[in-house]
Structures are given as structure tokens and as C-alpha cells.
């Protein structure tokens, strides 16, 4: 049996998936709405993101994000080793995500890819 809080690779995967889902939230919501209106359950199944890790990983990452937010606002905690390791993994995944999805230099919107030609939000063209 795997202990979620000690599975660094699973935590990293869950964090990257959650970050990606948050980036694509509006698009996914729109696709879900279209599938519901079309009453197309097959399309709905294809649109809804399928996590590659068990729900416990996602819940642990959500807890770590909450914990990081509290720490960033100055709340003091005595952390357990798995929380400290989880926060380190979370930050590493965050840096990986930000590297793969840079922000637009003009409007600050995070891009779907680091090889985007145009901003998905403001439309400014990126020079290569």
C-alpha cells in the first residue's frame, strides 16, 4: 500500500494536473456546457479531465496549496515531515508548470504552451 503523503511522484503528477485544469477551466467549462446542451454523453466523457492519480493525491495537493497559502500570509505552523516534503514537491511542480506555461509579456495571461505564437487572452504575437 502506498502512503499518498510520501509518494513524491504521485503528488507531483496530481499538482501538475490540477494546475493544468485550472489553466483550462474556462475552456473545459464551455465544452462541458456544449456537451450537456447537445445531450452528448460520449462527448461529455471525452471533455471531462480524467486524473491519472487517485483522488487522495488530489485532496493532498489541495491541502498543500491551502497550507502554502496560509504560510505565505504569515501563519506559523509546526510541520510534519510529509507536509514539508509535500510543500517542496508542490513548489517544484509549480515551477515546472510555470516553465511550460509562461505568462504573456503584455497581459500576464498564462499560455497553454511555451511555444505559443499568440497570446490566448489578448492576442499579441510572440516573436521567435
Q: 118: which residues sit within 8 A by CB, 6+ positions away?
A: 124, 125, 126
The pLDDT of residue 56 is: 96
Q: Domain spans of the chain?
A: 4-100
Q: 57: which residues sit within 8 A by CB, 6+ positions away?
A: 4, 7, 10, 11, 13, 14, 51
Nearest Cα to 5, choosing from 66, 65, 67, 57? 57
Residue 124 has pLDDT above 90, yes or no: yes
Reported pTM: 0.85
Element (H, E) at 93: helix 81-100
The pLDDT of residue 118 is: 95
Average pLDDT of the segment spanning 87-98: 98
Place 91 in a pLDDT band, splitting at 50, 70 and 90.
very high
Amino acid at each position: 500500500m502506498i502512503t499518498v503523503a510520501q509518494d513524491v511522484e504521485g503528488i507531483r503528477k496530481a499538482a501538475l494536473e490540477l494546475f493544468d485544469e485550472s489553466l483550462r477551466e474556462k475552456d473545459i467549462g464551455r465544452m462541458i456546457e456544449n456537451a450537456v446542451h447537445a445531450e452528448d454523453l460520449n462527448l461529455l466523457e471525452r471533455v471531462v479531465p480524467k486524473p491519472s492519480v487517485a483522488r487522495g493525491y488530489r485532496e493532498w495537493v489541495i491541502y498543500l496549496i491551502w497550507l502554502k497559502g496560509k504560510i505565505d500570509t504569515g501563519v506559523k505552523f509546526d510541520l510534519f515531515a510529509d507536509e514539508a516534503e509535500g510543500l517542496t514537491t508542490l513548489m517544484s511542480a509549480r515551477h515546472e508548470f510555470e516553465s511550460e506555461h509562461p505568462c504573456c509579456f503584455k497581459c500576464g495571461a498564462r499560455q497553454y504552451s511555451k511555444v505559443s505564437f499568440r497570446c490566448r487572452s489578448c492576442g499579441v504575437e510572440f516573436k521567435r
